[in-house]
Structure 1
C-alpha cells in the first residue's frame, strides 16, 4: 500500500465557545485544517494545510499516512472527513493511529481482471461495489483487491462470500453483490432467435 507523508503542528483546544469558533475560523482563513488523531495513548489535536492533503483526499487510492506532528512520527489512516455541504470545501479530518500488531478496518478499491464468459456471450460486466471493507494488519493491506472474472457467466453475479484474500478478512455482508454480468438486449434477442430456430 502507498504511503503518504504529512506534517502537522499540534494545537491547543479551547472549551466549546465563541473563542474556539474564532480560533477555527482564523485557522481555515490561513488555509489550514483542524484535524484529530485517535487510537494512541492520547487524542492529539493538530492542524495541517489544505494543500498538503489534496493528494490524499482527491484520489480513488487508499494510503497509509506517515504523519509527523511536531517532529514525532506516527503511522495512521484517514478515518473520517467533513466537507462544507454547499461548497464541498474540506473542513475537518480525523485520523486513526495504527500499529504493526493491531488489525485495522479500511476500505480498499476493487479491480476486476480477466474477460468474463458472459461478456463473450454478449453480456455487460458491471462493477457494483467499487470498494470493500477489509480487516487486516496494515503490513498486509493491498493497494487494490484484484478479482478474476474469467468464469463469470451470462446473468451471473459474484458475491462477497465467494471471495477470499490471504491475510484479509472481508467485513461486508456475505450476500452483497460485487459484480455481475447483465443480459443485454442484443444477448436476449440472440438467445430468443436461437430458441426459435430449434
Structure 2
C-alpha cells in the first residue's frame, strides 16, 4: 500500500554551522540538508510543523515527499530526523533526492492483519511480532508504507517466516535468510502447559 506524495515548501539556507543553525531555529524553521542523485548537498530550511504533521501518519520514513525549492519540485525520501534529547523538538532533517528509476533501500514496518481471526488468538494466545521492520529495495513509486503480516490461520505455537510475507509488485527483500521468523503465536502460561503436554508446534 502506497500513499499520495506530500509536498513541502523549502528554501535555500545561507551559511552552515551551529551558530547559523540556531539563527534559523529562532525564525521557527529548522535547518535541513538535501543530497543524493549525483547532486552536491544543498543546505535548506523547512517548517518543522509540516514534518510533525506527517509524522502522525503511517510509514513516514518509507514515504516519498516532493520538496519545492525555488520553483523546482524534487522527489525525496526523509533519511533522518534529529530531535532535542529533552524537549524532543525537531532540530534537523536529512532528505535524499531520488530519481524516477532509483532503487531505494529502506526499512519497512510490519503490520499484523486478521489477528481476531487467528485460532490461536481466539484461544487466548498473543501475536508476538519478532521483527518490526524488514529491509527492502524498491523504486520510489512502489515503496509500501508497511508490509502486511496475515495471521488468519495461525494457531498457538505457529511461526510465520520471511518467505511467507506477500510482497507488492516491484518490491524485493534484502534479508538473506528466507527462514527468518517474523511472527509467532504465543500461548498464555495456562494454555502453554497443555500444549506442551500434547507435544509439538506447527510452522506455517
- Structure 1 length normalisation: TM-score? 0.83
Q: Is residue 48 from structure 1 mapped to residue 50 from structure 2 by the alignment?
A: no
Match of 1:42, SS? strand
Output the CA distance in 2 between the equivalents of 1:99 and 1:194.
56
Closer, same or farther in 2 for the Cα pair 1:190/1:35, shift >3 Å? same
Unaligned runs of 5+ in 2: 200-204
How far residue 47 of structure 1 moved from its aligned partner, in angstroms, is 0.2
> Residue 150 of structure 2 aligns with which residue?
148
- Structure 2 length normalisation: TM-score? 0.81
Unaligned runs of 5+ in 1: 15-19
Q: In the TM superposition, what whole-angstrom CA distance separates every residue of 1:51-104 from its partner, at most 9, and x where no partner exists?
A: 222122344333210111121111000001111112211110001111121111
How far residue 5 of structure 1 moved from its aligned partner, in angstroms, is 1.1
Closer, same or farther in 2 for the Cα pair 1:84/1:192, shift >3 Å? closer
> Could you tell me which of 120, 123, 126 is aligned with 2:125?
123
Question: For structure 1, which segment, 145-154 or 29-38, has the greater mean C-alpha deviation from structure 2 after superposition?
Answer: 145-154
> Could you tell me which of 177, 184, 194 is aligned with 2:188?
184
Output the CA distance in 1 between the equivalents of 2:195 and 2:132.
31
Contact 2:67–2:73 (8 Å) recurs in 1? yes
Output the CA distance in 2 between the equivalents of 1:22 and 1:110.
40
Match of 1:45, SS? strand
Q: How many residues align?
A: 190
Could you say what the CA RMSD is over the residues aligned between the two structures, in angstroms?
Answer: 2.3
Closer, same or farther in 2 for the Cα pair 1:22/1:188, shift >3 Å? closer
Runs of 4+ in structure 1 deviating by more than 6 angstroms, as ranges, are 192-195
Question: For structure 1, which segment, 162-171 or 94-103, has the greater mean C-alpha deviation from structure 2 after superposition?
Answer: 162-171
Closer, same or farther in 2 for the Cα pair 1:194/1:152, shift >3 Å? closer
> Residue 17 of structure 1 aligns with which residue?
none
